[in-house]
Structure 1
Amino acid sequence: MSQAAGAAPRTSTVTPIEPALEVEDATAVDWSERAEILVIGWGAAGACAAIEARSAGADVLVIDRFNGGGASALSGGVVYAGGGTAQQREAGFADSPEAMAEYLRHETQGVVSDATLQRFCADSVANLQWLEAQGVRFASAMPPHKTSYPPDGFYLYYSGNEVVPACQGECGPPAPRGHRAVAQGQSGATLYAALQAATLRSGARTLTQATVRRLVRERGRDGQPGRVLGVELWQLPPGDARTARHAELDRQVARWRTLRPGKAAALRREAARVEQACAQPRFVRATRAVLLCTGGFIYNPALIQAHAPHTRRGWPVGGAGCDGSGLRLGQSVGAAADRLNNISAWRFITPPSVWPKGLVVNAQGERFCNEQVYGEKLGHELVEHQGGRGWLLLDGALRWQAIRQCLFGGLWGFQAGPALAMMLFAAKKAATPEVLAARIGADPQRLRASIEAANAAARGERDDPMGKSPDMRHEMVRGPYLALDISIGSPLFPLAVLTLGGLVVDETTGQVRDASGGGIPGLYAAGRTAIGLPSSRYVSGLSLADCVFSGRRAGRAAAIG
């Protein structure tokens, strides 16, 4: 919507990033503080990088726009881990790094080298144990049904497409690899609190409510890039009432982001106004390296418009600081970026666990995806290949089974509420497929053909056209037939989106690379600021697992140097 004539322009919540300040050498700048390693962003990746750098003996200063946490604290606290974790063994599952890598090749699609993928899988057990050493707890109880997120009391689950026949390899039966941190309620805050406490125990210093707006680098010579020397940051004055208000606004944004997104957006704008009104600049020296760990860019409208405008109607997933500041800081010194148009779109249709027994069709009434796949896979097919439009078809029997599960199945409110609203108030209903097609604007013959082909598969007369496993097939032969709008703009059923692209890094060290493939001296990146394991297709828990993997990698490499 355009700005009304005469109205004051809306405050931008996007961090203003300035071109890098190039100097002859470090003595040209009046530094107010210094550390060997500066970690920019105190989410999971930043915390892991800081702890690892401290364990290598480096002096570390962590800088955060707010008070730490970011998207990690708002997440479900799920870590994708396998290869034979203690929790997998306790639950009776055998797994190996080879089986884990074989499956993840389906999901990562070459976004990282095979050597990096194998290293990630080989290190998975040790990285989970490392998290436990930092104070994060995991457990082995599994939910009885496939779910987008386990209820309280259940902490191990299939968080991707492991049970989908087309995704199963030759390394034995599928194993659950979604490890949810033990907590009451969603686990992200608990997992992050442990990492935050571990950061402080490690001896890392912190500087919060401070926004990095510019990198300082040494002027390049003889065609070689100059070294990153430090940063210019803008900090809110400690002890000021406006600084306390800024912290409270960040807490309120986290509280309202799901229930009232419009209110959360207004609170983000107020926080940005506080920053613009009273933050003061100063320069901080990094004698060894700057590590960029600021998350993705889902809250940067200009970048979304430039790279993925078709996803703008989605519901953004991320912290208030996920505005691409790390990406843009890297680009200010010539860093290469990749996969910026790759937006993960989450269209989960389970729970209720019976919904995947229905049929997903496009605007023409044709099936286009196996309904039992992980929600990101379904969302990708919907948004990238079907114009963002789709319908979930149920019959009366599935509808009542789903309603009972929503009411009495122990689901989370964010799972049961939208599902009930869709079935009770927003479903298109008809006695025949042809009438239903007219009500949703689909082709009657195509919709009838989709249902009949799926019914034949449910009777065992043929293979399912989309590869659905026999236990998830359901014969729909009597009305009422129902269609639920699962499109990206569905008002009652938000479709979550988050960014996957970022800065190109050396996969052994995490050092940021320039357009020619060379490393930028003194600059590293980790987590969603960098290209990593989740940068192709997303699987629940893979982002936090990559924060640990890439954060530790960058922290260690920067410290030893």
Structure 2
Amino acid sequence: MSGPAAGALRTRAQDARPRARRTSTVTPVHEALEVDDASQLSWDDEAEVVVVGWGAAGACAAIEARSAGARVLVIDRFGGGGASKLSGGVVYAGGGTPFQQQAGFQDSPQAMFDYLRHETQGVVSDTTLWRFCESSVDHLQWLQAQGVRFDAAMPDFKTSYPPEGKFLYHSGNEVVAAYAGTLPPAPRGHRAVSRGQSGAALYAALQAATLRCGVHALTQGAVRRLVRQRSPDGGSGRVLGVEVWQLPPQHPGTRRHAELDALVERWRTFRPQKAAAARREAADIEQAIAQPRLVRASRAVVLSTGGFIYNPELVAEHAPQFRRGWPIGGAGCDGSGLRLGQSVGAAAQDLSNVSAWRFITPPSVWPRGIVVNAQGERFCNEQVYGATLGHEMVAHQGGRAWLVLDARLRRQAIRECLFGPLWAFQRLPALGAMLLAGRKGRTPEALAQAIGADPARLRRSIDRYNATAQSQTGDALGKSPDMCQALDQAPYWALDISIGSRLFPLATLSLGGLRVNEADGHVVDGQGRDIPGLFAAGRTAIGLPSCRYVSGLSLADCVFSGRRAGRAAAGE
């Protein structure tokens, strides 16, 4: 390669050397390299379809494109997996899956569609939502064909994540009366079978299927810009390929980079500061030794790099109220796919939409208490799914809230944490909140003083709730009668469930992304026109989980949108 393109690559290489300031962990993304024709460049590698990001969406896109006969290369900044590998491995599926039927539940695409319309709130068209629901059984069977296993065993109570040995559950608001349809609620959270959390097992099956079908992989390489054909009329030129900065094989720094990726996975939950330091060291290595390569995509590029929750600049710009949350995802969830799309004129949507997870179950008895705002007033049905509660708290209550229990509920919750079938990530924060950080008062007024709330408002909230529980009349906020339990045994306790709570962190992840043509996953520009040769899938794109989060909907959308983009990219 020679001329301006080669000079640009050399300049980038010089700019990538270590500097005195602390290296950002965010992937650098530059303006697109524009050429009149692909033959102007000397390409280092070539495929018909290039998939950027090898999580669940990227794997599904790559497998589908390869099944359509295309030669496929998948690229990942690390070793593959991303947020999908670190997830709970839950796929939202319904419409009458074999596992729903084995568990004794009837479901239909129509019932699934009616429920999800509450959750998606028009973020995708009804046509796309119906297509998703109608094809749900097929997508689950497709995952099984790739080697993912599911089961019909259900937990005994509503939970944020099923205990060991349980794999089917109500993963959203299906059992909440305000969301229920005319049919009995069906469980649609299908957790992949494994010991421990299931994300690694689900992703391992997809990764093996990707390689088994003949897809080539380029790992430890970050795509920093797109290559596109210059458009003579100023429109969107065709995307021709990518510029990827790859760590040299066999280099000691490359091996260390892989070790750091494994350490980030291990430390991310209970040692977040060490995980952050490992991410910074990995970024230092990338900046020091990565070398640029040009990869031709003769048909199309698919962007599937995840969300942007690990991009502090984007979060501060679009969703500053969530900065004190606990970001969850893979180390590569820094918005690189979003920014690559924007570099060629792609339109973005809902970047201010971040999901805040305030799960208060398990312990299963916690939702029998009440959640109040900083003034001491109830504002949400405590029975709802954790992301629904978190949204109401951050969006409408300034991120401040307290869970109020009486002595009986607190004893029951502690007993469940100590002896019940809970995961460590459920047990330890709950115990920490109750034993180390709870505020106590002999009366509602004394408790209000302890938390800085209005005594009269907190007393009124408790009295009204107790009257509802004792009379079994309808709760004003829609909680089921069987979940209403009078708070009448002193002392009273308040647990801080606010964003920024030190012992009870609030998980956050980004939901917005690139706008796509819902028929095929083409990335579109500000006028809604397809950008030739560019597709997006998973959390990089606007999809079913881009409005409100439901457990399993992200992975289900990875399959739905990934397969859609892969098929269309192969046909470009």
Q: Normalization by structure 1: what TM-score?
A: 0.98
Any residues of structure 2 matched to 1:125-524 within 5 Å, and which?
Answer: 125-170=137-182, 172-460=183-471, 462-524=473-535
Which letter maps to 1:19? Answer: E
Contact 2:515/2:542, CA 8 A, preserved across alignment: yes
Q: Deviations over 1:431-488 (max 9, x none)?
A: 1000100110101111011111111110126421211001100011231000000000
| Deviation, structure 1 residue 364 | 0.3
SS at match of 1:167: coil
Q: Deviations over 1:115-141 (max 9, x none)?
A: 000000000000000000000000000
Letter in 1 for 2:157: H
- Residue aligning to 1:552: 563
Matched, 1:71 2:71: no
Q: Could you tell me which of 69, 74, 96 is aligned with 2:108?
A: 96
CA contact (8 A) 1:453 1:465 kept: no
Map 1:45-124 → 2, pairs under 5 A: 45-124=57-136
Q: CA deviation at 1:169?
A: 1.6
> 3-state DSSP class of the match of 2:471?
coil
- Write the distance in 1 (CA, Å) between the matches of 2:58 and 2:424: 31
Unpaired segments of 5 or more residues in structure 2?
A: 1-18
The one-letter code matched in structure 2 to 1:54 is R
Query: How much does 1:8 deviate?
Result: 4.9
Q: Post-superposition, which runs of at least 4 consecutive aligned residues in structure 1 deviate over 4 A? A: none
Equivalents in 1 of 2:510, 2:35: separation in Å?
A: 33
- Shift in Å, 1:64: 0.4
Shift of 1:240: 1.0
Counterpart residue type for residue 98 of structure 1:
Q
Aligned CA distance change for structure 1 residues 224 and 11 (closer, same or farther; 3 Å)? closer
Deviation for aligned residue 1:150: 0.5
CA contact (8 A) 1:363 1:390 kept: yes
Q: Counterparts of 1:435 and 1:322 in 2: how far apart (Å)? A: 44
CA offset digits 1:329-365 (Å, max 9, x no partner):
0000000000100000000000000000000000000
Alpha-carbon shift at residue 281 of structure 1 (Å): 0.5
Measure the CA separation in 2 of the matches of 1:263 and 1:385. 33
- Mark the runs of 5 or more structure 1 residues left unpaired by the alignment: 1-6
Q: Could you tell me how far 1:29 is from its partner in structure 2?
A: 1.1
SS at match of 2:277: helix
Report the alpha carbon displacement of residue 425 of structure 1 after superposing the two structures with TM.
1.5
| CA displacement at 1:88 relative to structure 2 | 0.2
Question: In structure 2, what is the Cα distance between the partners aligned to 1:185 and 1:463?
Answer: 39
1:9 shift after superposition: 2.6
In the TM superposition, what whole-angstrom CA distance separates every residue of 1:371-409 from its partner, at most 9, and x where no partner exists? 010000000001111000000000000001111110111
- Native 8 Å contact 2:226 2:340 kept in 1: yes
Partner SS for 1:459: helix
Q: State the SS of the aligned residue for 1:165.
A: coil
Amino acid at match of 1:29: L
3-state DSSP of counterpart to 2:403: strand
Distance (Å, rounded) in 1 between the aligned partners of 2:171 and 2:156: 14
Q: Match for 1:294: what amino acid?
A: T
C-alpha distance in 1, partners of 2:212/2:472?
Answer: 63
In the aligned structure 2, how far is the partner of 1:24 from the partner of 1:237? 30
Alignment length (residue pairs)? 554
Match of 1:540 among 540, 548, 551: 551
Identity score, percent: 72
TM-score (norm 2): 0.96
Shift of 1:422: 1.1
| 1-structure distance, mates of 2:219, 2:374 | 48
Distance 1:382 1:203, change over 3 A: same
Q: Secondary structure at the match of 1:520?
A: strand
Structure 1: distance between partners of 2:342 and 2:20: 31
2:123 partner letter:
V
